[in-house]
Copies of this chain bind each other. A is one copy, B any other.
Amino acid sequence: MADLNERTITQAVIDRIAQTTEPRTREIMTSLIRHLHDFIREVHLTEEEWMTGIQFLTEVGKTCTDKRQEFILLSDTLGASILVITQNHRSEQGSVESTVLGPYYWEGAPERPLGSNLAEGVTGEPTFYSGRVLDVNGSPIAGATLDIWSGDGEGNYDMQLGETEMRARGKIRTNAAGKYWFRSIRPSFYPVPIDGPVGRMLKAMGRHPNRPGHIHMIVSAPGYHTVTTHLFVANSPYLDSDAVFGMKESLVVDFKKHDAGPAPTGERMQQPFYCAEFDFRLHKAG
C-alpha cells in the first residue's frame, strides 16, 4: 500500500468499503466519508479540536437515557432533523406539514374517548382543541388517530418533572364525520434541555434554547401517510426563532380566549379558557 496523504486518504477509505453488501449503505457511507473528510480539510481541523469533537460526541452519547435523546436534540438544533423531514415530505402536496418529533415522545400513550381532558391535574390554561382529519380533497377520514403530547402551561413535560406516569398525553380517534375534540392546556414556550453538552454548544453559539409554544401530534389513518407535526400557539414568543427550526406558518393556530362559562364540551368553566381549531389533511399512501 502506497503511503496515503491528506488527499489520497479519502478515495482509499471509499475503496475499502466497496464490499459493502447493501448498495444503499455504501451510497450513504461514501457520501458521509467524503463530506467528513472535506470538512476536516476545509477548516484544517487540529488534533486538539478533533479531540474536543470526540469528547463532545462521547458526552452526547452518555447523556442519552430512555427518557432523553441528546443526539436527536443535537440533530434538531443543527437543523438536520427538520431538513430530513422536509425533504421526505415534499411530494405530499396538500397534506398538513410535518415538523420535528422532538426528544419527548413517549410511545404507548393510552387511547382516550373523544372529549377527554388529557391534562387532568396538569398546570396551565384550559384549552379545547377541535377540528377534523381530512384527505387532501377535503373528505373526512373516520377513525384517524391523533397521538398527542405536550408540556404543561409552564413548558415542562412529564418526563422532565420526573413523572413515572404519562401526563398531557393520549390518543384520540376521529368519529364517523372525521371530527376530533379533546381538552388539554395552552402550551407555553420552553427551553430545550440545556444542562447537557448540547446546551453548552448553544451557549457557546450565543443562541437562546427556546421553542415557541406548541402541542405535538402524530396523525395517522390506515391507507394514509402518517404525519408528525405540531400546532403552534399564535403570538407565542420565539415563533420567529425556534431553537430547532421546526416552526411552519401553516401550523400556527389562533388560541381564542373565552371568559368563564360554558365550554364547547358543555361543561361549565369557572375560569377563562381557550379554543383552538385545526383541520389536519392527510395524503394517500402508495
Check A86–B9 contact: CB distance below 8 A.
yes
Tally chain A residues at the interface, Cβ within 8 Å.
77
CA distance A79 to B85 in the complex (A): 30
Contacts of A60 in B (CB 8 A): 57, 61
Task: Name A87's closest neighbour in chain B (CB-CB).
Answer: B6
Partner of A71, one of B3, B58, B90: B58
Contacts of A9 in B (CB 8 A): 79, 82-83, 86, 245
Check B6–A79 contact: CB distance below 8 A.
no
Contacts of A50 in B (CB 8 A): 75, 80-81, 84
A37-B80, A43-B31, A49-B28 known; A207-B3 Cβ under 8 A? no
Contacts of A241 in B (CB 8 A): 1, 16
Chain B binder among A19-27, A138-146, A161-169, A267-275: A19-27
Residues 8-46 of chain A, each 1 if its beta carbon lies under 8 Å from chain B, else 0: 011011001111111001111101110111111111111
Asked if A249 is at the interface of the complex by the 8 Å CB criterion, the answer is yes
Task: Name A249's closest neighbour in chain B (CB-CB).
Answer: B3
CA distance A247 to B9 in the complex (A): 12
CB distance from A68 to the nearest CB of B (A): 11
Check B43–A39 contact: CB distance below 8 A.
no
Check A80–B36 contact: CB distance below 8 A.
yes
Contacts of A25 in B (CB 8 A): 204-205
Check A247–B1 contact: CB distance below 8 A.
yes
Contacts of A107 in B (CB 8 A): none
Check A83–B37 contact: CB distance below 8 A.
yes
Contacts of A75 in B (CB 8 A): 50, 54
Residues 186-222 of chain A, each 1 if its beta carbon lies under 8 Å from chain B, else 0: 0000000000000000001111000000000000000
Binding site for B on A (CB under 8 A): 1-6, 9-10, 12-13, 16-22, 25-29, 31-33, 35-47, 49-50, 54, 57-62, 64, 69, 71-72, 75, 78-88, 90, 204-207, 239-242, 245, 247-250
- Not counting A1-B239, A21-B204, A45-B84, a sample of 14 additional A-B residue pairs whose C-beta atoms are within 8 angstroms of each other reads A6-B87, A6-B90, A25-B204, A28-B45, A28-B49, A33-B79, A35-B39, A36-B78, A37-B83, A40-B84, A46-B84, A47-B85, A47-B88, A61-B71
